[in-house]
């Protein structure tokens, strides 16, 4: 079962793992147009050609489908992750989602190949509708994902390393990506990809990036210019930064043991934690920072 992380930098402790893996999993955010795919503000929505003026940016599910030539029953789905604070040098990056099962009712267009395409212009998750779609690359960067009816995929991950590297090299061009099937047919309860979004109340269902990285420079810069005390700690820790929008504490297995949004009290209670090594993860000014902690 996938452990629940916001972001785990396990390589800070020597010999914990042969790989350096971090999980970047945004929360739902404010849903006011300001969310850009940071830890504290997931960004995803979808459009429905059958309801061209409807916006779905605050829903806890996301849909995309094949193109329909007999009706307007088709969808396109959009995602964006703010990767600016994540490692520059990576071995791979996978996009993880929890699929919605499709095991009842499919009458036509019951098999289709789905692809991921880079968006080439900005979009707002709370105002995006069928009539103001962003532009997109004509060539896909991932696919095909073959979807056949019936299906119940559960949690799946998709390799988006090429897109991640493009966004890191060209941060001003990170407008996220769109997923759909160019397969044309008559959608009559046809196949679709449905997944849970960052607005899902169940954290383990939310989309994430799994980053396998090799560069330690990023970690060293995260550990500069702030202080956490005492460390080693007992029943509490103090942090000296303002404007923290999110924090969490994970153990060495990457399991979240404490989390809070919009902390104004910079003394964090840790009396419930057993002795051992932990990591404090927090976001400030849309940058992720991590500190290794020891409870004695």
pLDDT at 15: 29
Give one word for 30, left, alpha or beta, with left for phi > 0 and alpha for psi -120 to 50. alpha
What is the DSSP annotation of 226-278? --EESSSBSSEEEE--S-EEEEEEEETTS-EEEEEES----EEE-TTPPSEEE
Structural domain total, the chain: 2
State residue 167 phi and psi, 5-degree precision. -65, -35
Residue 13 forms part of a structural domain: no
Does the structure show a pLDDT above 70 at 222? no
* The domain boundary residue, chosen from 186, 206, 226: 206
Q: Is residue 113 a contact partner of residue 183, using CB atoms and an 8 Å limit?
A: yes
Q: What is the pTM of this model?
A: 0.73
Is position 11 within any domain? no
| CA dihedral sign of residues 51, 57, 60, 64 | positive
Considering the domain architecture, whether residues 56 and 106 belong to the same structural domain is answered as yes
Neighbour count for residue 236 (Cβ, 10 Å): 12
Contact 158, 142 (CB under 8 A): yes
Q: How far apart are CA 288 and CA 3, in angstroms?
A: 19
With cut-offs at 50, 70 and 90, classify the pLDDT of residue 264: low
Q: 160, 180, 206: which is the final residue of a domain?
A: 206
- Checking if the pLDDT of 55 tops 60, the result is yes
Domain coverage including residue 276 = 217-295
Same domain, residue pair 44 and 180: yes
100, 179: one domain:
yes
Q: Among 291, 253, 289, 251, which residue's Cα sits nearest to residue 272?
A: 251
- Quote the pLDDT of residue 252: 63
- Pick the range with the lowest mean pLDDT from 74-88, 160-174, 199-213, 227-241: 227-241
* pLDDT averaged over every residue in the chain: 84
Report pLDDT digits (tens) over 20-29.
Answer: 778 888 999 9
Residues 187 and 250 in one domain: no
């Amino acid at each position: 079962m996938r452990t629940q992380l916001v972001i785990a930098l396990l390589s800070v402790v020597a010999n914990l793992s042969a790989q350096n893996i971090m999980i970047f999993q945004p929360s739902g955010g404010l849903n006011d147009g300001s969310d850009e795919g940071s830890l504290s503000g997931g960004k995803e929505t979808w459009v429905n050609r059958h309801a061209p003026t409807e916006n779905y940016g605050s829903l806890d599910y996301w849909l995309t489908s094949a193109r329909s030539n007999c009706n307007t029953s088709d969808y396109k789905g959009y995602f964006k992750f703010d990767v600016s604070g994540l490692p520059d040098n990576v071995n791979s990056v996978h996009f993880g989602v929890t699929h919605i099962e499709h095991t009842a009712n499919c009458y036509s267009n019951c098999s289709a190949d789905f692809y991921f395409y880079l968006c080439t212009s900005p979009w707002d998750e709370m105002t995006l509708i069928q009539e103001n779609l962003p532009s997109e690359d004509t060539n896909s960067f991932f696919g095909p994902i073959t979807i056949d009816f019936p299906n119940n995929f559960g949690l799946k991950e998709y390799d988006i390393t090429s897109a991640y590297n493009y966004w890191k090299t060209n941060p001003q061009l990170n407008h996220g990506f769109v997923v759909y099937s160019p397969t044309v047919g008559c959608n009559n309860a046809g196949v679709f990809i449905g997944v849970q979004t960052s607005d899902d109340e169940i954290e383990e269902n939310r989309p994430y990036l799994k980053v396998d990285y090799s560069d330690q420079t990023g970690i060293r810069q995260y550990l500069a210019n702030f202080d956490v005390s005492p460390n080693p700690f007992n029943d509490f820790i103090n942090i000296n930064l303002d404007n923290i929008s999110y924090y969490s504490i994970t153990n060495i297995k990457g399991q979240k043991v404490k989390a809070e949004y919009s902390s104004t009290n910079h003394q964090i209670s840790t009396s419930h934690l057993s002795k051992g090594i932990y990591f404090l993860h927090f976001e400030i000014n849309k940058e992720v920072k991590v500190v290794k902690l020891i409870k004695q």
